[in-house]
Amino acid sequence: MKAYVFPGQGAQFPGMGKDIYEASIQAKQLFDKANEILGFSITDIMFGEDAKALKNTKVTQPAIFLHSVILAKVLGTSFTPEMVAGHSLGEFSALVATGYLSFEDGLKLVSKRAMAMQKACEKNPSTMAAVLGLENEIVEKICSKIKEVVVPANYNCPGQLVISGSNKGIDIACIKLIEAGARRSLRLPVSGAFHSPLMEPARAELEQAIDSTNFLKGSCPIYQNVMAQSITNPKEIKENLKKQLTAPVLWTQTMQQMIADGLTTVTEVGPGKVLQGLFNKVDRQLKTQSASL
């Protein structure tokens, strides 16, 4: 079975999407429409060379979404997924690419999500850290015993788990995890504790926007972050999307379930090759590739 997967925040790079814009009239129309919807010229930032401007959350999330979704749309009949998934932000890209959400509604939700997350970060100074070379159960146990807010946030692949929490909590956890045998435990250059209880203000704000958005029947099953299971019911998809900001991204479990369900080929749609690498760490026999025009 063929899966198309969509990357999350961190995959951005200066100049992203410019080649798609120049190669396709349809892409140009969609990028121009995005500028109108957002109320600023995101293409100027995406196609430019200012990496710092591109790292602003209000820009980063819509930029990655647009790169992924517009590429999928330009592929046209070549885009033939039998299953899809997206890592965190990438879940919105996957939903639009397969018809569960319209392009306009998807972009509006992503923009709302980015703004809400930025506000939550400013309200609760916090961060994340990558933990390498330690079993999930050990990381979970250590986090649960720390009085500060610290939780598993991204189960990226076996032996790679990202934790999320208060600045003090992450500092304590990093020390304890190294003592427990982690190969590395280091802070990430992010602006807040994504996929943790500290994102609750953002979750509440995004929930209202999701409730007022029309979700449709999609073209194939999506494996959502909070469940790691094949889902097609728009109502269930909507509810899972509401939980996503404060719940961990079960990416390892998602990859394992997709493989158990017959996955043979993975195509990454969007900037970077991170997800391909994660799939290869789970099963080296999988064929992985990047979508291209």
For the annotated catalytic residues, the residue numbers are: 88, 195
What is the DSSP pairing of strand 83-86 with strand 2-6?
parallel
DSSP for 20-47, please give it: HHHH-HHHHHHHHHHHHHHTS-HHHHHH
- The gap from C-alpha 172 to its chain's centroid, in whole angstroms, comes to 27
- Give the torsion sign (CA, 273, 12, 249, 110): negative
Q: Helix (H, G, I), strand (E, B), or coil: what is residue 85?
A: strand
Of how many residues is the chain composed? Answer: 293
Nearest to 33 by CA among 84, 75, 86, 69: 69
- What is the identity of the amino acid at 260? A
- The DSSP code sequence of 132-184 is ESS-HHHHHHHHHT-SS-EEEEEEEETTEEEEEEEHHHHHHHHHHHHHTT-SE
Check: CB of residue 69 under 8 Å from CB of residue 31. Answer: no
Where is 204: in which H helix or E strand?
helix 200-211
Both tokens of 254, joined, read 């998602």
Name the DSSP class of 270: S
